[in-house]
C-alpha cells in the first residue's frame, strides 16, 4: 500500500510532467508551425532534459503524446495496410485560364442560381497524408496508397515536429476530439539541399528533388532516421462529424486553432477571375517560397455546396488543380551519346523520348559527366526525371527505381572521341574527359561558332548551320579562314540556299568584325577559363596582343581576378605553336590587336559608366554594349572614378551613392542624347 504522502508526491510529479509537456508543446508549435520561437534552443533543451529525466524516474507517467515520445519503436519490416473509410481522392488538372473557366462553368451549371465563391490554395508538391486524431491524440498517419488503402506510417509521422501529437482543443471544442486531417508532407528546398550535400559527402545516393526525398524518407523503416530528415507538414482538409463550420475557409481556421500547420497563403476568391489572378501571381512567385509548389488548388468554399456537387470517379467536382508548367518531367532514356565541345570537353547527352517541359518539347538533356551517371546509377531504358530551371539547359536529375526494366545495364563511357576517333583522356581531379585533337571536326566547328557569336566577333549570318556547312565543305578549318572567305565568293554563291545577296551580307559582316575591340577578339579565341570579363580585364591590363603573348604566368597573375589556374591556361594557350600561327594570320587579316586603338575610336573613351535601375528603351546588357561600342567602360559599383551614373526606374543604392559623391547623373533621356551626340 502506498502511503498518502507518497501518493501526493506522485500527483505533484505527474502535474509537473504535464506542465512541462504543455510548455514544450507550446514552444514546438511556436517554432515549427508559427516559425516564431520565443525561447533559445538552450532553454528549450533544458525543458526537454527535465521532462526526460522525470519520465525516466517515473515511467508510469509516460504517455504516447509526450514530446519525448516522437521517436519511438524499433525499425519495422513492413508497413501495415490501412483502409481509408473516406477515400483519398485525387484532383482533376487544368493547365490554363480557359480550363479554369470551364471548371467554373460546370460549377455554375450544377449550382443553378446560387451564389458561391472559392478558396485558392497552394498545391504543395509533396506527399499526401491522412492523420487520424482520437480523443485529441494522434492515433494514425497513413499514406494515400491507391486512394482506398495506404501504408500505416504513424511511427514516421510522429517524428515530424510540426505535426501535433495532441490537438490544442479549447474549452467547448471537445466535439473535435475525433477528427481526421488531410494534408501534405514536404521538405523545404534548403533542408533538402543540405541533406543531399551530406549524403553526397557520405557517398550515399542523392535525391532528385524534395518530393522524391520526402517520399523516400516516409518509406524508411527506421523512425530514428526519419527524425533526422527535415520533413514538415501542411494541413488543408478537415473531416469531422461534429463540426459546425460550414466552409473550407472555416475549416482552415479551425485546423490552425487546433495547432495544426496551415499555410498563410490560402486566399478567398469571390469569383473565377480572382482565382485566375491568384494563379498568375503564384506562377511567378513560386520561387520565393521556401518549398516547391506545382500549382494551386481551387475549392468551392461552402461545404453544403461541396456536398451537392459531389464527386465523379476519383475526383471531386467541387475542387480542381491548376498546374503550373512543369519544370520536371519523366520520360524514357532511349540512349546516351557524347558531344564534343569547342575545347574538346566530352559531355554525355541523354537521348530522350520527347517530352513537353516548361514551355517546349525536349528530346535531349545533359548528363554532365561519367561520374554523374555512375553516381546516379542512370541506365539506358530507365524512366528518368528531367529538369529545366531558368535558362539552363535541361538536365537529367535522376531515375525512377520502380520503373527500371529488368536487365538495364550500366553505361560504359567511350574511350575514343566520337567525332575524330582519337583516344580521349581525363585529367586528374577533373570530372570531364577531353579530346586533345586540335583538328577534331567538332572542336573546329565549336571554335568557329564561338568566335563568330554575338558576344564575341558578332558576325551576323554565321550561325551553327552555316558554320557546319562551311566546315564540311572544307572552306573553314580555322577561325582565320573566315577572313579569306571573300576569295571563295563564287563557290559560296553556287551553294544550295545561298545567293549573291546572302553572300554579300555575310562578307560584309565578316569585314565589319575586323574592327571589333581587342577584348571581344580575345574572348572569341575561346581560351579555356577566359570568359567575357576576364578577356576584357586582360585587354585592359596588357593593352596589346603582343604584350599579352609575351607575359609569363606570374605576370598574368597580376591581373585582378586571375589566379594560377587561369594564368596557366592562358600561358599554355599562347605558348602553343598553333596559336602563334593563328595569331599571325589574324594580324595579317587586320583585326584589332590593340586595346587603345579599339578605345580611341569611341567618343566615350576614357569615360566610366554605372547603370542602376530599369531602362525602358533597352536592357542593361544592350546599354552596356552601346557604351562599350563608343569606347566607354561600364562597371558595377560607383566610385570616385565613375564619370556617369545612368539612372532608370527603381534605382538601387548606387543612385544615393552617386549623389553623395557628386557624380554626374543621367536619366534615360539624357543618356540617349549623349549617345546620339557621340555616335
Ligand atoms: S485537396 C478532395 N489541397 O494534390 C481534395 N490537395 O491530385 C483532396 N495537394 O493528392 C485534395 N496541395 O496530395 C488539396 N492545398 C491542397 C493540396 C492538395 C497539394 C495534393 C494532394 C492530392 C493531390 C491532388
* Burial of residue 460, with CB atoms counted within 10 A of its CB: 0-12 exposed, 13-18 middle, 19 or more buried: middle
Distance CA 562, CA 548 (A): 14
The reply to whether ligand 1 has any atom less than 6 angstroms from the CB of 118 is no
Please state the rounded mean pLDDT for residues 553-567.
90
**Right CATH for 328-433 from 2.40.50.140, 3.40.50.300, 1.10.150.240, 3.40.50.1370:** 2.40.50.140
**Right CATH for 608-678 from 1.10.357.10, 3.40.50.10190, 3.40.50.40, 3.50.30.30:** 3.40.50.10190
CA of 236 to the centre of ligand 1 (A): 8
Share of the chain above pLDDT 70, in %: 98
The reply to whether ligand 1 has any atom less than 6 angstroms from the CB of 185 is no
The reply to whether ligand 1 has any atom less than 6 angstroms from the CB of 72 is no
**Parallel/antiparallel/unpaired status of strands 433-435 and 424-426:** antiparallel
Residue 269 has pLDDT above 60, yes or no: yes
The reply to whether ligand 1 has any atom less than 6 angstroms from the CB of 543 is no
What pLDDT, on the 0 to 100 scale, is given for residue 601? 62
CATH architecture of the domain formed by 4-69: Orthogonal Bundle (1.10)
Q: Are 207 and 213 in contact, with CB atoms under 8 Å apart?
A: yes
What pLDDT, on the 0 to 100 scale, is given for residue 2? 62
Query: What number does the ligand 1 atom closest to the CA of 315 have?
Result: 2
What pLDDT, on the 0 to 100 scale, is given for residue 649? 86
The reply to whether ligand 1 has any atom less than 6 angstroms from the CB of 121 is yes
Tens of pLDDT, residues 619-652: 888 888 888 888 888 888 888 889 999 998 888 7
What sections of 557-652 are H helices per DSSP?
564-575, 577-588, 595-600, 620-629
Query: Which residue lies with its CA nearest to atom 21 of ligand 1?
Result: 128
Q: Are 339 and 347 in contact, with CB atoms under 8 Å apart?
A: yes
Q: Are 351 and 336 in contact, with CB atoms under 8 Å apart?
A: yes
Query: Which residue lies with its CA nearest to atom 16 of ligand 1?
Result: 123
Domain ranges, ordered by start, for the chain:
4-69, 93-323, 328-433, 608-678
Model confidence band, residue 679 (pLDDT cutoffs 50, 70, 90): low
The reply to whether ligand 1 has any atom less than 6 angstroms from the CB of 93 is no
Q: Are 142 and 129 in contact, with CB atoms under 8 Å apart?
A: yes
CA of 80 to the centre of ligand 1 (A): 23
Mutate to test the pocket of ligand 1, among 311, 321, 322, 323 (most ligand atoms within 8 A of CB): 321
Model confidence band, residue 266 (pLDDT cutoffs 50, 70, 90): very high
Model confidence band, residue 162 (pLDDT cutoffs 50, 70, 90): very high
Residue 465 has pLDDT above 60, yes or no: yes
What pLDDT, on the 0 to 100 scale, is given for residue 9? 82
Query: What number does the ligand 1 atom closest to the CA of 121 have?
Result: 15
CA of 184 to the centre of ligand 1 (A): 8
CA atoms within 13 A on the CB side of 71: 12
Query: What number does the ligand 1 atom closest to the CA of 237 have?
Result: 1
Residue 678 has pLDDT above 70, yes or no: no
Distance CA 308, CA 105 (A): 16
Longest dimension (CA), the chain: 116
Distance CA 321, CA 100 (A): 9
CA of 181 to the centre of ligand 1 (A): 12
What pLDDT, on the 0 to 100 scale, is given for residue 631? 80
Residue 158 has pLDDT above 60, yes or no: yes
The reply to whether ligand 1 has any atom less than 6 angstroms from the CB of 236 is yes
Spell out the residues 6+ positions from residue 370 whose beta carbon is closer than 8 angstroms to its own. Answer: 348, 413, 426, 431, 433
Total-model pTM: 0.60
Active site residues: 123
Residue 534 has pLDDT above 70, yes or no: yes
The reply to whether ligand 1 has any atom less than 6 angstroms from the CB of 234 is no
**Parallel/antiparallel/unpaired status of strands 267-269 and 118-124:** antiparallel
Mutate to test the pocket of ligand 1, among 88, 118, 122, 128 (most ligand atoms within 8 A of CB): 128
For the chain, the first-to-last Cα distance in angstroms comes to 105
The reply to whether ligand 1 has any atom less than 6 angstroms from the CB of 321 is yes
CATH code: domain 93-323 is 3.30.470.30
Please state the rounded mean pLDDT for residues 63-88.
88
What pLDDT, on the 0 to 100 scale, is given for residue 598? 67
Per-residue CA distances from 326 to 65, 314, 356, 647 (Å): 40, 23, 9, 37
Please state the rounded mean pLDDT for residues 135-148.
95
Please state the rounded mean pLDDT for residues 157-167.
96
The reply to whether ligand 1 has any atom less than 6 angstroms from the CB of 91 is yes
Distance CA 340, CA 151 (A): 48
* Burial of residue 669, with CB atoms counted within 10 A of its CB: 0-12 exposed, 13-18 middle, 19 or more buried: exposed
Mutate to test the pocket of ligand 1, among 92, 297, 303, 316 (most ligand atoms within 8 A of CB): 297
Task: Residue 611: name the closest of 531, 666, 662 by CA.
Answer: 666
Q: Are 186 and 125 in contact, with CB atoms under 8 Å apart?
A: yes
The reply to whether ligand 1 has any atom less than 6 angstroms from the CB of 229 is no
Q: Are 426 and 433 in contact, with CB atoms under 8 Å apart?
A: yes
Joined grid coordinates for residue 434: 577531353
| Mean pLDDT taken over the chain | 91
Query: Which residue lies with its CA nearest to atom 17 of ligand 1?
Result: 123
Please state the rounded mean pLDDT for residues 579-589.
95
Please state the rounded mean pLDDT for residues 420-431.
90
What pLDDT, on the 0 to 100 scale, is given for residue 570? 96
Model confidence band, residue 443 (pLDDT cutoffs 50, 70, 90): very high
What pLDDT, on the 0 to 100 scale, is given for residue 596? 78
Amino acid at each position: 500500500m502506498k502511503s498518502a504522502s507518497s501518493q501526493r508526491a506522485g500527483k505533484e510529479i505527474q502535474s509537473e510532467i504535464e506542465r512541462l509537456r504543455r510548455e514544450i508543446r507550446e514552444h514546438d508549435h511556436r517554432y515549427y508551425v508559427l516559425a516564431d520561437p520565443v525561447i533559445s534552443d538552450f532553454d528549450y533543451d533544458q525543458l526537454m532534459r527535465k521532462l526526460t529525466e522525470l519520465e525516466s524516474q517515473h515511467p508510469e507517467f509516460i504517455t504516447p503524446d509526450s514530446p519525448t515520445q516522437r521517436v519511438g519503436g524499433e525499425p519495422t519490416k513492413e508497413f501495415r495496410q490501412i483502409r481509408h473509410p473516406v477515400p483519398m481522392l485525387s484532383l482533376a488538372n487544368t493547365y490554363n485560364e480557359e480550363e479554369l473557366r470551364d471548371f467554373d462553368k460546370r460549377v455554375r451549371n450544377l449550382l443553378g442560381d446560387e451564389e458561391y465563391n472559392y478558396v485558392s490554395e497552394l498545391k504543395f508538391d509533396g506527399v499526401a497524408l491522412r492523420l487520424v486524431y482520437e480523443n485529441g491524440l494522434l492515433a494514425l498517419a497513413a499514406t494515400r496508397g491507391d486512394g482506398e488503402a495506404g501504408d500505416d506510417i504513424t511511427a514516421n509521422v510522429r517524428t515530424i515536429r510540426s505535426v501535433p501529437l495532441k490537438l490544442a482543443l479549447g474549452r467547448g471544442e471537445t466535439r473535435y476530439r475525433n477528427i481526421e486531417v488531410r494534408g501534405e508532407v514536404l521538405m523545404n528546398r534548403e533542408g533538402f539541399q543540405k541533406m543531399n550535400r551530406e549524403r553526397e559527402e557520405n557517398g550515399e545516393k542523392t535525391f532528385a528533388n524534395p518530393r522524391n526525398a520526402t517520399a523516400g524518407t516516409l518509406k524508411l523503416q527506421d523512425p530514428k532516421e526519419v527524425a533526422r530528415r527535415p520533413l514538415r507538414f501542411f494541413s488543408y482538409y478537415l473531416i469531422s462529424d461534429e463540426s459546425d463550420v460550414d466552409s473550407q475557409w472555416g475549416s482552415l481556421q479551425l485546423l490552425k486553432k487546433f495547432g495544426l500547420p496551415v499555410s498563410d497563403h490560402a486566399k478567398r476568391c469571390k469569383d473565377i477571375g480572382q482565382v485566375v489572378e491568384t494563379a498568375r501571381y503564384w506562377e511567378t512567385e513560386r520561387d520565393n517560397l521556401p518549398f516547391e509548389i506545382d500549382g494551386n488548388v481551387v475549392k468551392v468554399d461552402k461545404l453544403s455546396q461541396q456536398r451537392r456537387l459531389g464527386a465523379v470517379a476519383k475526383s471531386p467536382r467541387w475542387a480542381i488543380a491548376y498546374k503550373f508548367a512543369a519544370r520536371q518531367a519523366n520520360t524514357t532514356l532511349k540512349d546516351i551519346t557524347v558531344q564534343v565541345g569547342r575545347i574538346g570537353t566530352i559531355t554525355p547527352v541523354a537521348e530522350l523520348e520527347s517530352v513537353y517541359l516548361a514551355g517546349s518539347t525536349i528530346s535531349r538533356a545533359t548528363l554532365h559527366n561519367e561520374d554523374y551517371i555512375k553516381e546516379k546509377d542512370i541506365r539506358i531504358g530507365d524512366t528518368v526525371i528531367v529538369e529545366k530551371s531558368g535558362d539552363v539547359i535541361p538536365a537529367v536529375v535522376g531515375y525512377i527505381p520502380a520503373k527500371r526494366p529488368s536487365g538495364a545495364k550500366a553505361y560504359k563511357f567511350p574511350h575514343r572521341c566520337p567525332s575524330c576517333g582519337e583516344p580521349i583522356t581525363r585529367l586528374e581531379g577533373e570530372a570531364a574527359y577531353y579530346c586533345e585533337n586540335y583538328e577534331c571536326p567538332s572542336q573546329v566547328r565549336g571554335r568557329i561558332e564561338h568566335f563568330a557569336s554575338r558576344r564575341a566577333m558578332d558576325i551576323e549570318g554565321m550561325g551553327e548551320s552555316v558554320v557546319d556547312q562551311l566546315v564540311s565543305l572544307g572552306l573553314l578549318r580555322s577561325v582565320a579562314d573566315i577572313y579569306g572567305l571573300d576569295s571563295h565568293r563564287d563557290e559560296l554563291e553556287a551553294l544550295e540556299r545561298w545567293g549573291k545577296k546572302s553572300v554579300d551580307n555575310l562578307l560584309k559582316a565578316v569585314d565589319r568584325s575586323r574592327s571589333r575591340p581587342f577584348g571581344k577578339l580575345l574572348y572569341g579565341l575561346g581560351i579555356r577559363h577566359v570568359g567575357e570579363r576576364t578577356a576584357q580585364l586582360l585587354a585592359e591590363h596588357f593593352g596589346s596582343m603582343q604584350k599579352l603573348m609575351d607575359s609569363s604566368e606570374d605576370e598574368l597573375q597580376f591581373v585582378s581576378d586571375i589566379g594560377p589556374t587561369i594564368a596557366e591556361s592562358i600561358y599554355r594557350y599562347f605558348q602553343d605553336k598553333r596559336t602563334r600561327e593563328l595569331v599571325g594570320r589574324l594580324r595579317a587579316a587586320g583585326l584589332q590587336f590593340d586595346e587603345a586603338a579599339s578605345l580611341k575610336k569611341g567618343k566615350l573613351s576614357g569615360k566610366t559608366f554605372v547603370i542602376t535601375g530599369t531602362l525602358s528603351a533597352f536592357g542593361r546588357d544592350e546599354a552596356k554594349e552601346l557604351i562599350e561600342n563608343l569606347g566607354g567602360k561600364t562597371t558595377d559599383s560607383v566610385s570616385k572614378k565613375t564619370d556617369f551614373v545612368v539612372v532608370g526606374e527603381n534605382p538601387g543604392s548606387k543612385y544615393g551613392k552617386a549623389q553623395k559623391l557628386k557624380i554626374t547623373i543621367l536619366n534615360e533621356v539624357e543618356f540617349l542624347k549623349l549617345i546620339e551626340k557621340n555616335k
